[in-house]
Amino acid sequence: MTSLAADQNSNLFVRTVELPDIPNLLSLLPAEGGLAWINGLANNQIGIVGWGEVARSSFNGPERFSRAQRWWSQQCSSSTGNEPIAFASFAFDKDPGTSVLVIPEVAVTRNQNGTQLTITSNIAISDSHLAGVISEINRPHVVAQGINNVTWLPGSRPVSEWQLAVDNAVARINSGELDKVVLARDIVAQLDQPIHIGALLIRLNESFPECWTFCVDGLVGATPELLIRREGEHVTSRVLAGTMRRSRDTDRDGQLAAELLDSDKDQEEHVYAVESVAAALATHCTDLNVPNRPFILRLANVQHLATDVTGELVDAAPALALAASLHPTAAVCGTPTERASHVIRELEGMNRGRYSAPVGWLAANGDGEFGIALRCALIETEDRKTLRLFAGCGIVSGSTGESEVAESQAKFAAMKSALE
């Protein structure tokens, strides 16, 4: 179903102007309610930040992507002036879970063409209003860096139960029921003070500049996995599957990377993920480039097998439609998809919500970027003191419950280090 707000189609007034360069976009964000999609170091951030809210709509069910595209098209067709920008975060499953699109009042974009300010309103945007927003952006921004004391609480199920679920999944894979399944688990962070979202995003970006730091409707994180980028006719998807810990010793770290590249278990997991992405993009693209071997993507806490798949569109599909075609990939669900989805519902023991689903931004011309919402947390309470963290692991025939628990702990470290 679609929220009532989706049926309210008021005219939007949009005004976009050039700004002097702002290399640190995240410094503009408030303590709460900010929106973000950022890649790169603090002195060279590429992406979009936003705040305020002109329009939003929520969507549920198996048609959530198509309904979201229809609502977004309606908003764009009713806009006057320049083109609006929206942020989006989708539910992993058709049920339960609610997907959301948000059109911010203010958005600041930085890319290869420079820095732009986009203001969207339900009334005409005066020169004085524009000047006021620019003045606010140009003032010095001091972001509180204090981090709260954190109490860690169990998630939806005990770790021992989740480990048994992994062993159960491995047995079912070995019996031939399916090839791969991704099982996730959660933990809860209880803070003594409200989290400053802007400060949290800055800490994530500083630790993981190779990732896409995001915040949409209370879901905040730094994902290393780009589901889809659409730039005109060119599309890119970064596929991750296969994980190894890092070492502070350079030689040992290199050995671990070599072990990851030589691991039959991790290579098998990675092939399933790449094949699922390539198959989905093949229906939209020509000149599809799928490298034969993955590369090592090193992050602060873990290293991954990674493959960048690229192609050229033949059907003008917008970014949102491409995300719908790709989701869920084998990297976050498994293969065969329907069988893996069934096993997830049976064994996982929690509601993923918007975890491991598309999150990102979209433009009126069909361009946009969506990552997979990984290494993230959901701010669960209005006082911003309770966050639920998620981590998932790909299970194949060579997996063990013990090793997957260790991998999930390593993946939790991204958000835990930013909170502590």
What mean pLDDT comes out for the span 83-112? 95
Question: pLDDT band for position 1 (50/70/90)?
Answer: very low
Strand partners, 306: 240, 295
116 plus 183 within the same structural domain: no
Share of the chain above pLDDT 70, in %: 96
- The verdict on whether 94 is a catalytic residue reads no
**Does the pLDDT of residue 36 top 80, yes or no?**
yes
**Does the pLDDT of residue 84 top 70, yes or no?**
yes
109 plus 176 within the same structural domain: no
Can you give the pLDDT at residue 359? 98
Q: What is the pLDDT of residues 112-162, one digit of tens each?
A: 889 999 999 999 999 999 999 999 998 877 666 656 789 999 999 999 999
Can you give the pLDDT at residue 4? 36
- Would residue 145 count as lying in a domain? no
Residue of 32, 180, 265, 275 marked catalytic? 180
What mean pLDDT comes out for the span 78-88? 95
**Does the pLDDT of residue 8 top 60, yes or no?**
no
155 plus 134 within the same structural domain: no
Q: Collect all residues with Cβ–Cβ distance below 8 Å to 59 and sequence separation of at least 6.
A: 1, 2, 3, 6, 65, 67, 68, 71, 98, 99, 100, 101
What mean pLDDT comes out for the span 68-73? 97
Can you give the pLDDT at residue 91? 97
| Pairwise CA distance, residues 76 & 189, whole Å | 39
119 plus 260 within the same structural domain: no
Q: What residues make up the domain containing 55?
A: 4-138
Residue of 177, 210, 225, 411 marked catalytic? 225
**Token digits of residue 90:** 């989708």
Total domains in the fold of the chain? 2
What mean pLDDT comes out for the span 259-275? 93
Can you give the pLDDT at residue 368? 97
Among residues 84, 103, 138, the one where a domain terminates is: 138
- Would residue 219 count as lying in a domain? no
Can you give the pLDDT at residue 159? 96
**Does the pLDDT of residue 245 top 60, yes or no?**
yes
What mean pLDDT comes out for the span 26-53? 91
Can you give the pLDDT at residue 145? 61
What is the CATH number for 279?
3.60.120.10
Least confident among 20-34, 119-133, 301-315: 20-34
Closest residue by Cα to residue 239 from 214, 263, 261, 270: 270
171 plus 292 within the same structural domain: yes
Among residues 118, 138, 158, the one where a domain terminates is: 138
Task: State the chain's mean pLDDT as an integer.
Answer: 93
Q: What is the pLDDT of residues 317-339, one digit of tens each?
A: 999 999 999 999 998 999 999 99
Question: pLDDT band for position 5 (50/70/90)?
Answer: very low
| Pairwise CA distance, residues 229 & 226, whole Å | 7
- Would residue 303 count as lying in a domain? yes
Can you give the pLDDT at residue 97? 86
The structure tokens 């995300």 sit at 323
The structure tokens 């002097």 sit at 20
Please give the model's pTM, rounded to 2 decimal places.
0.93
**Token digits of residue 296:** 């090592």
132 plus 164 within the same structural domain: no
Q: What is the pLDDT of residues 351-373, one digit of tens each?
A: 999 999 999 999 999 999 999 99
**Cβ-based neighbour number of residue 249 at 10 Å:** 10
